[in-house]
Amino acid sequence: MRISILIIICSVWNFLALSQSPTITYTNEQLNLQAEFIDAFALKYKGENSKSIEAFQGILSQDQKYHPASFEVAKLYLDQKDNSEAIRYCLKAIKYDAGNRDYLQFLTERYIDAEEWGNAITQLEKLINLYPGERQFYGDLAYSQIKKGDSKKALVTLNQLEQLEGVDEYTSRKKFEIYKSWDDKKNAEKELLKLIETDPENIRFLNNLAYFYTQIKEEDKALEVYNKILNIDPDHTDSNLALMKKNGKENSAASYLLSLKPLILNPGIDIDSKIKELMPYVESTSPDMDMDKSSSLDNLLESLRNTHPKSPKAFALSADYYNRLKDEQNAIKLYEKTLSINDNIFSVWEQLLYTYLEIKDYNKLVSRSESAIDLFPNQTIAYILHAKGLKELGKKDEAMDILMEAKLIAGRNKTLLDQIEQLSNELK
């Protein structure tokens, strides 16, 4: 404990030496205040924050100019999540030490937390005047100016930061966003190109440029950039997709789907990107779907499963496809396969149970819904489907018991409560 107190005394003494104007001698009153300050700081160190605040406030009642005490109170109020009091006491500290960097930075952060952008800007401008070489202050100032809605001033600040630090991703990205919000395509493009010059083979920078060209309908420029990316990374997902879409643009949906096969078979391309491309076709699947399109999609989904045999997503997507085709047996087979890989996905359980209900396999519905309830005891719909299966098997008393549990879990969910009530009435 002696070591801890010694550390406190040394730390506080250094803080006081830095916080106050240097003097050669101290009056007795000053020495007493410093001793009280150390005692108050020791209370803070021990976690007795309320007593520490009272002690620091006692110092201020004797000498309101004792700004280190005001600053300590500000920090203690921040610990208590009282931002307004933290601001109030920090302003007291700044009143008697207007150029203190720690005080000004703390106050700025509090204003940003409170979304008082005008006040934050005022303090940040002071900090930049005092410390013109500090990058952080320019970034915070630009951020506050953007939040206040003054993007013109933010652009000036970002240009100052760029002159200070050179071209970097943060500055260029913020300037790009400002130009884009003004619909200034030329300068927006310049910012992305300028950033690429700092790292010509940075795929993220190049992809951002290609995506921008796509947004502004400059397809040829976008494809040129995507080709450049593929020279660096032949497996890059967005670039491969862009070129495939370009090559298949004039072809039928079935031909386009087949053109995706090399991409689907490439294990180096993440499965989420593949699913994103296939999802619209799966969602539009129906029993009267064009046979060529259906066959192409079926082929691709099989390739997806073969390429990612350990991914539940590959099998769940295929199951959804078969479900929409009204091929319930294949859908069930693939939902069950999905759950054998990962049984912690309730949406898959839900689709599986509804499919068993659809084909009137009530024994399976009861057994699998029971498994779902064990894994997801708070999912009311599993209880409802379990009760439906029991009802169809003639086990009405058991079904009623399950519905009583379902009602407790449903809470105030009107949709679920209506389903429970309807099924209860059917059982009476």
pLDDT tens for residues 383-401? Answer: 999 999 999 999 999 999 9
Which CATH fold would you assign to the domain 343-428?
1.25.40
Which is higher by pLDDT, 45 or 252? 45
CA distance 413 to 392: 25
Specify the residue for token string 């660096």: 232
pLDDT tops 90 at residue 403: yes
- Calculate mean pLDDT across residues 194-223: 93
What pLDDT is attached to residue 6? 45
Which one, of 414, 387, 385, lies nearest residue 401 by Cα?
Answer: 387
- Calculate mean pLDDT across residues 136-152: 93
Mean pLDDT of the chain: 89
What pLDDT is attached to residue 343? 96
* Residue range 252-337 in CATH 1.25.40: yes
Q: Read out DSSP for 274-326?
A: HHHHHHHHHHT--TT--HHHHHHHHHHHHHHHHHSTT-HHHHHHHHHHHHHTT
- Calculate mean pLDDT across residues 31-36: 82
Query: Could you tell me the pLDDT band of residue 167, with boundaries at 50, 70 and 90?
Result: very high
What pLDDT is attached to residue 257? 80
What pLDDT is attached to residue 259? 76
Q: Which residues contact 241 (CB under 8 A, 6 or more apart)?
A: 263, 273, 277
What CATH number should be reported for the domain whose range is 1-114? Answer: 1.25.40.10
What pLDDT is attached to residue 258? 74
What pLDDT is attached to residue 242? 79
Which one, of 371, 366, 361, 292, lies nearest residue 331 by Cα?
Answer: 361
Least confident of 2-11, 59-68, 203-212, 383-392: 2-11
Judge whether 72 and 53 are in contact, CB under 8 Å: no
Which is higher by pLDDT, 92 or 269? 92
pLDDT-above-70 percentage for the chain: 92
pLDDT tops 90 at residue 291: no
Q: What is the pLDDT of residues 418-427, one digit of tens each?
A: 999 999 999 8
- Calculate mean pLDDT across residues 83-107: 94
pLDDT tops 80 at residue 18: no
What pLDDT is attached to residue 36? 82
Q: What is the pLDDT of residues 348-382, one digit of tens each?
A: 999 999 999 999 999 999 999 999 999 999 999 99
Buried b (16+ CB within 10 A) or exposed e, 213-240: bbeeebeebbbebbebbbeeeeebbbbb
Phi, psi of 367 (to 5 degrees): -70, -40
What pLDDT is attached to residue 205? 95
What pLDDT is attached to residue 176? 94
Beta-carbon-side half-sphere exposure of residue 243 (alpha carbons within 13 Å): 15
Query: Could you tell me the pLDDT band of residue 75, with boundaries at 50, 70 and 90?
Result: very high
Q: What is the pLDDT of residues 44-71, one digit of tens each?
A: 888 888 898 998 899 898 989 999 999 9
pLDDT tops 90 at residue 33: no
What pLDDT is attached to residue 268? 83
CA distance 197 to 168: 10
CA distance 33 to 68: 11
Query: Could you tell me the pLDDT band of residue 25, with boundaries at 50, 70 and 90?
Result: low
Count Cβ atoms within 10 A of the Cβ of residue 68 and give its class: 0-12 exposed, 13-18 middle, 19 or more buried.
buried
What pLDDT is attached to residue 8? 47
pLDDT tops 70 at residue 39: yes
Q: Of 180-184, 252-256, 258-262, where does the model show the most confidence?
A: 180-184
What pLDDT is attached to residue 157? 94
Which one, of 292, 320, 315, lies nearest residue 303 by Cα?
Answer: 315
| Topology alike, domains 252-337 and 343-428 | yes
Q: What is the pLDDT of residues 292-330, one digit of tens each?
A: 888 889 999 999 999 999 999 999 999 999 999 999 999
Q: What is the pLDDT of residues 325-349, one digit of tens each?
A: 999 999 999 999 999 999 999 999 9
Q: For the chain, which residues make up each domain, given as ranges?
A: 1-114, 252-337, 343-428
What pLDDT is attached to residue 7? 47
What pLDDT is attached to residue 48? 87
What pLDDT is attached to residue 420? 95
Using left for φ > 0, alpha for ψ between -120 and 50, and beta otherwise, residue 411 falls in left
Q: Which residues contact 320 (CB under 8 A, 6 or more apart)?
A: 282, 331, 351
Judge whether 334 and 319 are in contact, CB under 8 Å: yes
